[in-house]
Amino acid sequence: MNILIVSSSQRTPSQSAKVASYIAKHCPQFQSVSHIELCNFRLPFWDGDRASPALLNSDWHDISAQIKQADALVLITPEWGGMASPLLKNFLLLCDGQDTAHKPALLIAVSGGISGAYPIAELKMNALKNNKLVPIPDHLIIRNSESVLLQGEQDQREQQLRGRIDYSIHMLHQYSIALKIIRDNHQTQPYPKQQEYSYGM
């Protein structure tokens, strides 16, 4: 099983990338681990045209290849003004449903303070309809991000956070195994005229 971690802060270095790096080192269930930091790639804003010159001449081809190989995704967004990162929303619009459909996704919000719930709600409500990614029930909110996931002594709160991350990655792996059956059946035993239902309602 392959996992793709996508961190979507629009600046570097970032707390989102720090969280991504931590997770990349703590997901032994997956044979292959990749991390994409979106701000390091040339990506146009989605204009509705997959054949647009801006998209064809961007770095999207490299990212798309990694999405195709992934069995599970981790989507990490900072919370800015109570919203998910524009980079992540654009990434999800660029995703082709043929590459993402029926793959599990772990959603993670990163906040420098005590909030972080709004980006999760936003992503679950309106970011996954057409790409058909399947958010697992266990999301993560990394609060007070600058003071956690550091080297050194771990207080009780830190231990609980790391335990929750380990559990969420474990469940993501379980979903990736289970949903692979659906993806395989989708290819080998397609529903009649299933292409007519490419988009969610």
Q: Where are the domains of the chain?
A: 2-197
Query: Beta strand 104-110 with 32-37: parallel, antiparallel or unpaired?
Result: unpaired
Q: Are 64 and 100 in contact (CB under 8 A)?
A: no
Over the stretch 56-103, which tens digit does the pLDDT of each residue have?
999 999 999 999 999 999 999 999 999 999 999 999 999 999 999 999
| 139-to-34, 134, 143, 185, 192 alpha-carbon distances in Å | 20, 12, 13, 27, 34
Task: Tell me if the bond preceding 13 is cis, omega within 30° of 0.
Answer: yes
- Name which of 136-140, 165-169, 183-187 the model is least confident about: 183-187
Which one, of 30, 41, 31, lies nearest residue 6 by Cα? 41
Residue 140, strand partner residues: 108
CATH of domain 2-197: 3.40.50.360
State the pTM of this model.
0.96
Pick the closest to residue 77 from 99, 47, 107 (CA basis). Answer: 107
